[in-house]
Amino acid sequence: MPDEPRPRTNPRPIPPDRNTALHPNPQPQLSLVESMGPVADSMRQLLTDFGMRPYRVFSVVVNWSGGEEGRGVEQVIQETELLPTPLVDLSRLRAPMTQGGRAEQGYYVMEEVSSQFTEDDIRTLFHVQPLPKGKIGYIEVRMDRRDGEAKRRRFTVRGVPQRRADEFDWRVNLSSQDLARLRNGQPDRPPQVH
């Protein structure tokens, strides 16, 4: 037979949920952490200026003239660079050899995305919410121009982006996708007419 519910007991004189000295932050937008966001972004910009952030990150939206992905002509309608440049570590990606050649697979965690972005900004930039029919959004990572025209890598968000107040950033899990654009920015597939 299951235990009967018991009255709540706590041997402490004042349990934390009844302690009137404890409360949520009444003005989180004015907290010390929020005021340090621009300082953290300035430090990240210095890393970019020193050449220590070689991977640039873009939020890309494409439109398909046929009204759905893979139908008609693919056209980039929006490309927004994430600044200051986030920290990109591609070491978890794998490129196994198959009969068709090498295709990168896997995921990585993007960190140090500016904490000055709101949750709505992040949902828009990382395409967490659905886009209108015929439009596709993804994240594109490419090396800066130090080696000439760079390879482009395409990713989509995995899970929910996380605001890390103690790190002054957002952390976003990304999964690798096929059909990244060519180095010159053109689509990697010919137009399809159905």
Cβ-in-10-Å burial (0-12, 13-18, 19+) of 50 comes to exposed
Quick one: pLDDT band at residue 180, thresholds 50, 70, 90?
confident
What stretch of H or E contains 41?
Answer: helix 32-49
User: What are the structural domain ranges in the chain?
Assistant: 25-96+104-143+151-177
Most confident stretch, 8-22, 89-103, 124-138, 161-175: 161-175
In this prediction, residues 68-79 reach a mean pLDDT of: 87
Token pair listed for 116: 């000055």
Spatial separation of the C-alpha atoms in residues 139 and 162, rounded to whole Å: 17
Would strands 97-98 and 135-143 be described as parallel, antiparallel, or unpaired? unpaired
177 vs 141, residue with greater confidence: 141
pLDDT above 70 (res 118): yes
Cα dist. 76→21, 80, 134, 186 in Å?
A: 54, 11, 12, 9
Please state, rounded to an integer, the average pLDDT across all residues of the chain. 86
pLDDT of residue 137: 94
pLDDT tens-digit series, residues 140-165:
999 898 888 888 989 999 999 999 99
Q: Nearest-CA neighbor of 126 among 134, 136, 117, 137?
A: 137
pLDDT above 90 (res 53): yes
43 vs 129, residue with greater confidence: 43
pLDDT of residue 100: 62
Q: Which residues pair with 56 in a beta bridge?
A: 142
